[in-house]
A and B are shown apart, each in its own frame.
Chain A
Amino acid sequence: MRLPALLTTGLASFFLILPALSFGKPSKEAEDAKRQAKLFQKKLSKDQQVQHALDRLTFGPKPGDIARVKKMGLKKWLDLQLHPERIPENRDLEAKLQPLESLRMSPMEAGQHYPTVQMIRAIAAGRQPLPEDPVLRASIQRWIVRYKINKNKEDDTEMEPAKTLEETLAPPELYTLRNGKPDQKRQLLESMPADKLEDVLVALPRGQRQQLFNNSPADVQRRIMLLNSPQQVVAYDLLQAKLLRAIESNRQLAEELDDFWFNHFNVYYDKGSDRFLIPDYEREAIRPHVLGKFRDLLEATAKSPAMLFYLDNFQSVRADIDANSKRKVKRGLNENYGRELMELHTLGVNGGYTQHDVTEVARCFTGWTIQDPRRGGAFFYDDKLHDKGEKMVLGHVIPAGGSIEDGEKVLDILAAHPSTAKFISTELAQRFVADNPPPALIDKMSKTFLDSGGDIRQVMKTMLDSKEFWSQGAYRAKVKTPFEMVASSVRALDANVTDAWALANQVGNLGEPLYRKQEPTGYSNLNSDWVNSAALLGRMNFAVQVSKNQVQGVKTAASQSAELIGSPDFQRK
């Protein structure tokens, strides 16, 4: 759980430093605050500065990074990280992202490329016609030509493959597939042309297909997933990309901020259509704006099908719409987005809004919906659904008779609000400086936010120019999140990653399943939420596995490294 900024003042870091601290002992708290404040005045040595920059602004240093930054000069390195467009991207990374095709698809395409098993079965059995849409038709045909059509079979039974394994493979190949060692099977699958590979995978029973998964190259894994659980293919691509970018991107700060902003504007993979809306969301709404204007980022999320679906606004309509209709279920207003927009995206929970503001904001966003929401349609403003009455939001009158601009005005009001400046600055400082950042730093960052019209790059620059960032109060003050811990391990070991799926699952086991935070709060930014017995044991076990090369797709030469990765010090950044 992420504690909203205002809550944490004087709370979070004390909690860990003084676990015995309890209700009603302000003097000890005050004392500690004083000590803490002094630490934010104490400077870092030159070496500490470089270490600190790499700890905080990247997913941890790789061997040689410290020397590279020193050679380039810290100032120049920081400036480049603030301008990722000037940094050439790692070619190896780009090659690894290439096969993850759903990352580049529109929601509609993602829905069409990964038809559900039920759909394929129904069409293969002749109960449903082939869809007219050419892409969907082709992606279904790709599979159904490989099955025998049997109209009498039930929906949930396995379909009979058109060609058996014996018909597809030569006897020695068949022997290897059945009796070979994992490495031999892997080689065999890698050597096959795509067509033959798909014949083989279809001919295998589901369970045997799944057994091949763990030892297969990424390309084969993806095909197995397409057959066994197509609804997971997009997740597979997203998770691979998230880990690979954190580990290998040259634009490290931008990737840190992608994680920060996605989490700030959290959406949840397992809520209905969101499973094919998220690649578009991250690509179009989040990534282009991570160092841009907050107002643009806010509107991109407000108009994204992923957010409209996740917080239900696509169904929110003016309250009187069915007043005179005979519909059994009357449609109406839904407050979910209006509330979270203010509480979590902009003002913060103590940012000065009331229940009345929540309802009024929800009215302003009526009609902000999705064209064909179950098939991956785009944002769409439907004037018929919009509440045309006058609204009052945080003391501003939104005149009657408006349309889409009502919601846009709300975004203007919220993006320029001092509470938003403070809330966003606090959240950034909690991620990059300390759980309990000094108020003086928040004031400076908030001022930049307001003066620059919500320019995130300028706010980050103010933070990076502050003495508080480069202080003993910030140095090693943060505990890594599971995602940071896993990514930084691989970087520290300079391990070669051919496939990040198993790594992503480790992040999930450690308590941070990526793209799967159900609550709109996103994951916590605070140490206290990541330090507990289950988490520590999980991290130690991960350390053992990764150093023994037991994490699929990850190879390291540093086999004696478990004690480094599992140590208390490595959990810090």
Chain B
Amino acid sequence: MTSRRVFLKGSALAMFGVGALPAWLSRSVYAGDSSERRKKILVAIFQRGAVDGLNVVIPFGEQRYYELRPSLAIPKPDGTPMSAVDLDGFFGLHPSLAPLKLMFDARQLAIVDAVGSPDPTRSHFDAQDYMESGTPGFKATSDGWMNRALPKIAGPGSPIRAVSLGASLPRALRGRNDALAVNSLNDFQVRDPKAAAAFESMYEHTVDPALSGTGKETFSAVKIMQSIQKQSYTPANGAKYPGGRFGQNLQQIARLIKADVGLEVAFADIGGWDTHVNEVGAQPALGQLANNLADFGQSLAAFYRDLGDRMADVAVVTMSEFGRTAKENGNRGTDHGHANVMFVMGGGIRGGKVYGDWPGLGEEQLNEGRDLALTTDFRDVLGELVSKHLGNPNLKAVFPGYENPKFRGLLG
């Protein structure tokens, strides 16, 4: 299979020349990696800044929630847009996330609560680093879990196997497998052909240890991107992505998925969750967090709609470095806490359920007397996706040092 694929790729380049590879051919070149089924794709989303999970998935069934958060608590579901959206009689979604209810009801969205990293750090930086390296508490890990999660393949894979949207390559995607940072699909090129050829040769021949590998990866990806750039993109099924960076990045991931150029893992992030002050506005369901969640939820919903049937091959997982204090602080905000919430969405996900063991919000149930306690390790969630969705059985290499992952049964 591999040799046939390489042959196809080589002959296609020979026939059409660099840059003239037609879209249909680039598709057949990379779509055929696995003859029996299409490649599964994992999309990871990082909410940087520690989103306040207790106001994302609201434990409205627990009275303590309302005692701890007199000015922040989202009211119990009462059918109005200022109250929680009921999921199961105990948990509800923040009303800004109402677009996700559709996916939850269609059993394609699962929620894992009281989940996160077991490391106690409350440093944004360290906690993000641990979650992206996949080795909490261990700083010397040089690569990221998502790079290690790529299944082993024989021969050269698509240069577009692993992509992050944005101007930098996140920690999660760094490592031995090629991974691209893409600011925008349309700009992924050198705009002057003469200079492009000169640069390609320079980066091909440089001995610079940092730049040569990245340079070569970049130029082989540029050739594949050219076929995508030739076609304009209209989201399918009337999907409307919000205009912000996050929505636009998800749209570009959808475009890459549909172009069938060999994408296996993709990464996007969204910031602005560090709500120490004025987390809510005139009402708990309004203000800073509500606005940010609206962008987040509408973007995910548009992605789901746009991909349509292709969601069968896709799983999306969201995470944030830690949760926030269960009790509100003195500035209508929350400080750094511990456990949080994750969303898992996709055609193969057993959705429509809130997973995890709810630890409760009683004084003695809180972590260090202040934060939601942790009952699920984030690696249990990611590990299940890596092994059952991506089909990479070697979890010991993806999450070194994590001996006995306890899958929650998110996938069949």
Q: When A536-B211, A540-B190 are in contact, do A519 and B124 touch as well, CB less than 8 Å?
A: yes
Cβ A16 vs Cβ B168 within 8 A: no
Cβ of B180 < 8 Å from any Cβ of A? Answer: yes
Is A11 close to B, CB under 8 A? yes
Give the most central of B141, B171, B195: most A CB within 10 Å.
B195
Determine if B330 and A535 form an interchain contact, defined as CB atoms under 8 angstroms apart.
no
* Residue A541 CB within 8 A of the other chain: yes
Binary interface encoding of chain B residues 62-73 relative to chain A, with 1 for a CB under 8 A from any of its CBs, else 0 = 000000001100
Assess whether A16 is in contact with B210, with CB atoms less than 8 Å apart.
yes
- Asked if A20 contacts B176 (CB within 8 A), the reply is yes
**CB–CB B190/A541 < 8 A:** yes
| Pairwise interchain contact A537-B271, C-beta atoms closer than 8 A | no
Partner of B335, one of A336, A533, A571: A336
Please give, as numbers and ranges, the residues of chain A lying within 8 Å of B206 by CB-CB distance.
Answer: 568-569
Proximity bits, A477-521, B CB within 8 Å = 1, else 0: 001000000000000000000000000000001110000001101
| B88 nearest CB across to chain A (Å) | 31
Task: Name A568's contact: one of B71, B125, B208, B217 (CB within 8 Å).
Answer: B208
Chain B binder among A97-105, A175-183, A253-261, A309-317: A309-317
Comparing A55-63, A83-91, A326-334, the segment that makes contact with chain B is A326-334
Q: How far is the CB of A45 from chain B (nearest CB, A)?
A: 20
A-facing residues in B207-251 (Cβ within 8 Å): 208-215, 217-218, 221-222
Quick check: B49 and A519 within 8 Å, CB to CB?
Answer: yes
Interface residues of A in 72-97 (CB under 8 A from B): none
* Interface assignment of A563: CB less than 8 Å from any CB of chain B: yes
Closest B residue to A4 by beta carbon equals: B125
Q: A349 contacts B202, CB within 8 Å? A: no
- From residue B390, how far is it (CB to closest CB) to chain A in Å? 18
* Stretch of A21-29, A141-149, A375-383, A423-431 that contacts chain B: A21-29
Chain A positions within 8 Å of B330 at CB level: 315-317, 319, 321, 330-334
Q: Give which listed residue, B129, B139, B218, B331, contacts A331 with CB less than 8 A.
A: B331
Instruction: Enumerate chain B residues within 8 angstroms of A355, measured Cβ to Cβ.
Output: 122, 368
Q: How far is the CA of A527 from the CA of B179 in the complex (A)?
A: 16
Interface centre among B182, B209, B217, B335 (most CB of A within 10 A): B335
Are B142 and A15 touching (Cβ within 8 A)? Answer: yes
Please tell me if B259 contacts chain A, counting CB pairs below 8 Å. Answer: no
Per-residue B-contact encoding for A283-294, CB less than 8 Å = 1, 0 else? 000000000000
Query: Does the CB pair B195–A562 fall under 8 Å?
Result: yes
Which 9 A-B residue pairs are closest in the complex by CB-CB distance? A332-B330, A511-B167, A532-B181, A532-B169, A534-B181, A533-B218, A568-B206, A16-B210, A534-B183
A11 CA / B135 CA spacing, docked (Å): 15
Q: Which of A189-219 contact B (CB under 8 A)?
A: none
Q: How far is the CA of A572 from the CA of B128 in the complex (A)?
A: 28
Known contacts being A334-B329, A528-B174, A566-B199, is A7 close to B214, with CB within 8 Å? no
Within 8 A of B (CB), among A522-554: 527-538, 540-541, 543-544, 548
> A11-B142, A19-B175 known; A535 and B148 CB under 8 Å?
no
Which residues of B have CB within 8 Å of A343?
123, 125
Does A170 sit within 8 A of B, measured CB to CB?
Answer: no
Taking CB atoms, residues of chain B closer than 8 Å to A519 are: 48-49, 124-125, 271, 274
A335 close to chain B: CB less than 8 A: yes
Q: What residues of B have a CB within 8 angstroms of the CB of A567 in the complex?
A: 199, 202
Q: Name B332's closest neighbour in chain A (CB-CB).
A: A329
Size band of the interface chain B makes with A:
35 or more
Nearest CB of chain A from residue B275's CB, rounded to whole Å: 10
Does residue A557 face the partner (Cβ distance < 8 Å to B)?
no
Extra A-B contacts (10), CB below 8 Å, given A2-B125, A537-B188: A317-B330, A330-B70, A334-B277, A349-B126, A533-B214, A534-B166, A534-B169, A534-B183, A537-B222, A541-B187
Residues of chain B with a CB closer than 8 A to A15's CB: 142-143, 174
Q: Is B400 an interface residue (CB 8 A)?
A: yes
Interface residues of B (CB under 8 A from A): 48-49, 70-71, 121-126, 128-129, 135, 139-143, 148, 166-169, 171, 174-176, 180-183, 187-192, 195-196, 198-199, 202-203, 206, 208-215, 217-218, 221-222, 271-272, 274, 276-277, 329-333, 335-336, 368, 397, 400-401
* CA of A333 to CA of B333, assembled, Å: 11
**Do A332 and B331 have beta carbons less than 8 Å apart?**
yes
Cβ-based interface call for A339 (8 A)? yes
Q: Verify B142–A22 contact, CB threshold 8 A.
A: yes
CB nearest neighbor in B for A521: B125
Partner of A540, one of B70, B148, B199, B217: B199
A sample of 10 cross-chain residue pairs with beta-carbon separation below 8 angstroms, ordered by A number, consists of A15-B174, A16-B209, A312-B277, A312-B331, A334-B276, A510-B167, A528-B210, A534-B188, A536-B218, A569-B206
B182 lies within 8 A of A531 (CB): no
Given contacts A17-B209, A568-B208, A568-B215, contact A23 B202 (CB under 8 A): no
A348 → chain B closest CB, angstroms? 10
Do most interface residues of chain A lie in helix, strand or loop, or is the interface mixed?
loop
For A539, give the chain B residue with the smallest CB separation: B199
Kindly name the residue among A6, A319, A532, A536 whose own CB sees the greatest number of chain B CB atoms within 10 A.
A532
- B333 touching A334, Cβ below 8 Å: yes
Given contacts A316-B330, A330-B330, A537-B190, contact A7 B129 (CB under 8 A): yes
CB under 8 Å from chain B, chain A span 1-18: 1-4, 6-7, 10-11, 14-17
Tell me whether B208 and A7 are in contact (CB under 8 A): no
CB neighbours (8 Å) of A538 from chain B are: 167, 183
Provide the residues of chain B in CB contact with A1, threshold 8 Å.
125, 128-129, 168, 171
Q: Please pick, from A2, A336, A349, A530, the residue contacting B276 in the complex, using a CB distance under 8 A.
A: A336
Query: Would A532 and B140 count as touching, CB distance under 8 A?
Result: no
Closest to A511 in B: B167
Whether A22 contacts B143 by the Cβ 8 Å rule is: yes
- Decide: B214 and A532 in contact? CB cutoff 8 A: yes
Q: A315-B331, A563-B198 are in contact. Are A535 and B129 (CB under 8 A)?
A: no
Among residues of B, the one whose C-beta sits closest to the C-beta of A331 is: B330
Q: Give the CA-CA distance A24 to B142 in the complex, in Å.
A: 10
Q: Quick one: given A16-B210, A319-B330, are A544 and B195 in contact (CB under 8 Å)?
A: yes
Query: Given that A15-B142, A312-B277, A312-B331 are contacting pairs, would A535 and B168 also be in contact in the complex, using a CB cutoff of 8 Å?
Result: yes
A541 x B183 contact (CB < 8 A): no
Q: How far is the CA of A537 from the CA of B121 in the complex (A)?
A: 36
Q: B202, A19: Cβ atoms under 8 Å? A: no
Complex contact B210–A532 (CB within 8 A): no
Per-position 1/0 for A344-356, Cβ under 8 A of B = 0000010000010
What residue in chain B is nearest A317 (Cβ atoms)?
B330
Q: How far is the CA of A259 from the CA of B117 in the complex (A)?
A: 34
Whether B139 contacts A334 by the Cβ 8 Å rule is no
A531 touches B71 (CB 8 A): no
State the Cβ distance, B169 to closest chain A Cβ, in Å. Answer: 4
A20 contact set on B, CB distance < 8 A = 176
Known contacts A535-B167, A562-B195, A563-B199; A23 and B141 CB within 8 A of each other:
yes
- Among residues of B, the one whose C-beta sits closest to the C-beta of A26 is B140
Closest to B128 in A: A1
CB neighbours of B218 from chain A (8 A):
533, 536-537
Contact of A562 among B148, B192, B331 (CB under 8 A): B192
Q: How far is the CB of A333 from chain B (nearest CB, A)?
A: 6
Whole-angstrom distance between the Cβ of B400 and the nearest chain A Cβ: 4
Residues of A within 8 A of B214 (CB): 531-533, 536
Q: Which of A14, A328, A568 has the most CB of B within 10 A?
A: A568
> Is A19 in contact with B276, judged by CB distance below 8 angstroms?
no
Which chain B residues lie closer than 8 Å to A521 at the CB level?
Answer: 124-125
Q: Report whether A10 and B123 are in contact in the complex, using a CB–CB cutoff of 8 Å.
A: no
- Complex Cα distance A7/B142, Å? 11
Residues of B within 8 A of A4 (CB): 125-126
How many angstroms between the C-alpha atoms of A518 and B167 in the bound complex? Answer: 15
Bound together, the chains give a CA A20 to CA B166 distance in angstroms of 23
How far, in whole Å, are A324 and B222 apart by their CA atoms in the complex?
Answer: 65
- Interface-centre pick from B168, B189, B196, B198 (highest chain A CB count, 10 A): B168
